[in-house]
Amino acid sequence: MPRARPHAGTRARERRTRLAHEAARLMAESGIRDYQQAKRKAAARLGFHDDASLPRNREIEDALREYQRLFLGRSQPQELRLRREAALEAMEFLARFDPRLVGPVLEGTADARTPVSMQLFSDDADAVARFLEEAGIPAEARSHRLRLDRTREGEFPMWAFTARDLAFELTVLPGVALRQAPLSNVDERPMRRASASQLRQLLEDDGPDVGSPALTGA
């Protein structure tokens, strides 16, 4: 009987690995952006119905990087570079709102379906909307739920638009949120954010090759 425990543990790890890779494949091929949706859909496809087999979001992200390296080795780096360059241009345009790049474009997992996600900061929630309108940029009003810390979360205004065939999503946070990043939906730690100067340095350091940065939640 004692020998069954290691065997069960190995089997559970194998199931988690299979699920992580299937979820990563679904995200890469179907454009799913929500980790919970991807892992639940992967579990249904593989016939795994116990929550203990569900991988952590970080495991799925690691599997997604591996999938992109193996199957999207040419196109994905180009799509990522394109979005980072577009993000820098947009951040310079939106400089008055202290923009920070977040999400897959910063993390290095963006592909052809990925929007450029940024956080803007203003105590006047309508200021961004007015700025976009004055610039002649039609944007769709949405909302984005974020966890500010372990105990607080909220819905924040988000503006979505397309420029040069690329999708952008701008979440507007109060000025105080510039000091402390919201929690990441990947590992529940303060999410990585990059200022325009940090992104410019990242592009210069990467040259034609792009990857994942080592940035803090500042």
- Rounded to the nearest integer, the mean pLDDT of the chain is 90
Residue where the block lists tokens 């450029």: 116
Which of 29, 49, 71 terminates a domain? The answer is 71
Report if residue 214 sits inside a domain.
no
> How far apart, in whole angstroms, are the C-alpha atoms of residue 65 and residue 109?
6
Report if residue 216 sits inside a domain.
no
Report if residue 62 sits inside a domain.
yes
> Which tokens belong to 70?
């193996």
- Domain match, 18 and 35 both: yes
The pTM score is 0.85
- Domain match, 101 and 202 both: yes
> How far apart, in whole angstroms, are the C-alpha atoms of residue 27 and residue 50?
21
DSSP 8-state class, residue 29: H
- Domain match, 27 and 96 both: no
Instruction: Specify the CATH number for the domain of residue 131.
Output: 3.30.460.10
DSSP 8-state class, residue 194: B
- Domain match, 33 and 119 both: no
**Based on the structure, what is the number of domains in the chain?**
2
Which of 71, 106, 123 terminates a domain? The answer is 71
- Domain match, 62 and 79 both: no
Average pLDDT over residues 105-117: 96
Q: For residue 122, with 0-12 CB atoms within 10 Å meaning exposed, 13-18 middle and 19 or more buried, which class applies?
A: middle
> How far apart, in whole angstroms, are the C-alpha atoms of residue 119 and residue 25?
28
- Domain match, 50 and 96 both: no
Which of 46, 71, 96 terminates a domain? The answer is 71
- Domain match, 58 and 118 both: no
Average pLDDT over residues 213-218: 48
Give 33-70 pLDDT, tens digit per residue.
Answer: 888 999 899 999 998 887 777 899 999 999 999 999 99
108: left (phi over 0), alpha (psi -120 to 50) or beta: left
- Domain match, 22 and 79 both: no
Strands of 116-121's sheet, edge to edge?
A: 100-102, 116-121, 166-173, 153-163, 140-147
Report if residue 215 sits inside a domain.
no
The pLDDT assigned to 218 comes to: 53
Report if residue 201 sits inside a domain.
yes
Domain of 98 in residue numbering reads as 75-206
